[in-house]
Amino acid sequence: MRSKITRRPYRYLVDFENVYQFMIRNYSIDGATGEKAPFFEYAQTLIDFDREHTYLYSIWEEEGEIVACIYTASIPTSN
């Protein structure tokens, strides 16, 4: 039987550590396979970080484990 991958919104205070650890496990240090985990942490600590729209970020999970995530460091409502 195949497991099901589900998508859900990112929860800023709940998901930060799990997403950070996922990025450490899966992305290369040189950024060749995606953004580096330290940038994810840095972006969310900036004074102008748009916490109001983090619900627009998404996490995909399989059996409770993160298998993908998407986020932006810029304000998603800006042009």
Residue 24's pLDDT is what?
A: 81
Q: What is the pLDDT of residues 1-53, one digit of tens each?
A: 678 999 999 988 898 889 888 888 877 666 565 666 667 777 777 777 777 88
pLDDT confidence band for 66 (50 / 70 / 90): very high
- Note the pTM of the prediction, 2 decimals: 0.71
Three-class secondary structure assignment of the chain? CCCCEEEEECCHHHHHHHHHHHHHHHCCCCCCCCCCHHHHHHHCCCCCCCHHHHHHCEEEEECCEEEEEECCCCCCCCC
